[in-house]
Each structure stands twice: as C-alpha cells, then as structure tokens.
A = this chain, B = another copy of it.
C-alpha cells in the first residue's frame, strides 16, 4: 500500500482483517508512525516497500493523491517495474496515461472505490469503509483479465461490489455524481457564508447536507476536479445551463416548475435504480469477449458481486 491516508489506511486495515499479508509506505511521517503504532507494517521508505513487492509478486496499490502519482510511478518503474499495480484515485484516464508514460511495463488495472468521508489521514480510516460500496475496476481494450480478476478480488474481499468500466466512462460518470457535487457544495458554502452569522444561525438540514463535502481538505478536492478537467467541463456547463435557466424563468415569468420538477424526477429515477430487482449475470473471464461483457455490464449500471475459483464473474444488473 503506497499512501496511508483515509483510503490507503482503510484498505490496509480491511485487507489485513480478511487475512491478506499487507505492508505500507507513505511520505507522511505522521501517518507511518500512527499506522506502526496500531501494529501495522508501515514506514516511510517507499523504495523498500516496492522492492519487497517485486520480490514477492505482490499487488501494489497506489493510494496517493493524483498530484503525487507521477513521482510514485517513477519509483515503481525503478523498484518493481513489472508488478501488478492498481490505484484508488478518483480520476482514471489521467492515471492510465501516467502509467503508460512512467511505468509502462507494470500490469496495471485502474480502480476507484466510491467511498470516503470528509476526513483525511491514517487516523480517519477504518476497515469497514468499503462495505457495500461500489468499486470501479477498469477494463480497457488491452486489460489483462487475470490481473483484472486479482484487483477485483481485493475489492470484493473488503466488502465492496465491483463495477467494470473503461476509464473514460468512469470519469464522465464521476464528474456528474462526485466532482460536480463537490463544486456545488463549495458554491453553496461560499454564498451561505456571505450571509454572515444570521444566515449561519438559521441554517438547517438543507444547508448542512448541501455543504457537507465542502469541508473536505481543499487540495484533495482540487486534485480530483482539476485532474478530471476534460470530463468535468461539459458537466459544469450542464449545471450552469440549468441554474441559468432557473434564474431566467424566476426573473421573467417567476415560475420554476420545470426546473424543480426535473430535479424531483431525477431523485425518483435514482430511487428506482436503487430499489429495482436485479437480474443475475455471469461473465466467464476466460471467454474471448469477456472484456466486452464486463464493460457492457458496468455501462448498464450493473455490478460484480463474486468471482468463482474457475474465474467466472457473478453479477447483477437492474
């Protein structure tokens, strides 16, 4: 585990809990000391941790912010150039491009657990963080399926379900449902604070829910949103268009029926997807069209819930 913050630290704990042998390295003295004090094999020596991974053919997990990925990949290329590698950052195309540039001989499969809190650092982590969460494990045209299955099994082992997707489809979706929410929360927190102590005194559930993620460490929000620029720009334009349409109709006719109803219907569509009865799906990872089968499942909103010993992925889709 490279990086022992909220996600890396939670994954180190969770993987250890299910009996995997784990060790970690982090540039943060504080996180390394705290993890070691909690009984984990953790240090600040990145090279030593990677050399050990190379020797034992271990799965290396990059759990550092996107802004640090290039540097870490250079060290991976030196110490463990052919390792099985995954990551947990919230932007997948950028990491894939960085791996192709800096560590092209690794067996890389990108990943992203859709879990987190507004906290950060080792102390914020917990082994149960991934229970019930979606974990995107990327399937590109050239993804090595045995490597994919190894990464997917880690996600399944720690309680997540796996959503197989190409990096580009992941990035477009998270721009909508993760990066835009962070930016709207920042807008709301800024506009709310302009109302001073009076506005803060009246703030209730709609404000606290709407601003919650704006208390995330700003450099982490910057890393994910700036790193997903290409997918985020058109989504921001959609949001601006809808907010501008509200402004226009409130100022002209005074009516907001269409905008508010569209939002309400969006929440109902979300509830239907969440509450729908899923259909079972099986994908044999040895089949020649396995990659297409996995990607089609993910793109329809489906998930993998288990992988059998004979490499059949068991899934479901609503």
A residues within 8 Å of B by Cβ?
A: 114-117, 133-134, 136, 163, 165, 169-170, 172-174, 176-178, 180-207, 209-218, 221-222, 225-226, 229, 232-233, 235-240, 242-244, 246-247, 250-251, 254-257, 259-271, 273-274, 298-303, 318
Q: Lowest 8 CB-CB distances: which A-B pairs, in order? A: A186-B263, A197-B301, A189-B266, A193-B266, A181-B206, A201-B301, A215-B267, A200-B273
The count of identical subunits is: 2
**Contact: B206 with A273, CB < 8 Å?**
no
Bound-state Cα–Cα, A229 to B184, Å: 21
Bound-state Cα–Cα, A282 to B196, Å: 22
Q: A191-B180, A207-B177 are contacts. A298–B185 as well, Cβ < 8 Å?
A: no
Q: Per DSSP, are chain A's interface residues mostly helix, strand or loop, or mixed?
A: helix
**Contact: A255 with B226, CB < 8 Å?**
yes
In the bound complex, residues from chain B placing their C-beta under 8 Å from that of A206 are 177-178, 181-182, 185, 212-213
Bound-state Cα–Cα, A163 to B267, Å: 33
Q: List 10 A-B contacts (CB under 8 A).
A: A173-B199, A177-B192, A185-B210, A190-B266, A191-B239, A200-B269, A200-B273, A205-B212, A214-B264, A214-B266
Q: A192-B176, A195-B172 are contacts. A264–B200 as well, Cβ < 8 Å?
A: no
**Contact: B200 with A274, CB < 8 Å?**
yes
**Contact: B202 with A173, CB < 8 Å?**
yes
Min distance, Cβ A214 to any Cβ of chain B, angstroms: 4
With contacts A184-B210, A193-B266 known, what are 16 further pairs, Cβ within 8 A? A172-B195, A184-B187, A186-B266, A187-B259, A189-B262, A197-B300, A197-B301, A198-B298, A200-B301, A201-B298, A206-B212, A209-B213, A211-B267, A214-B266, A229-B250, A237-B247
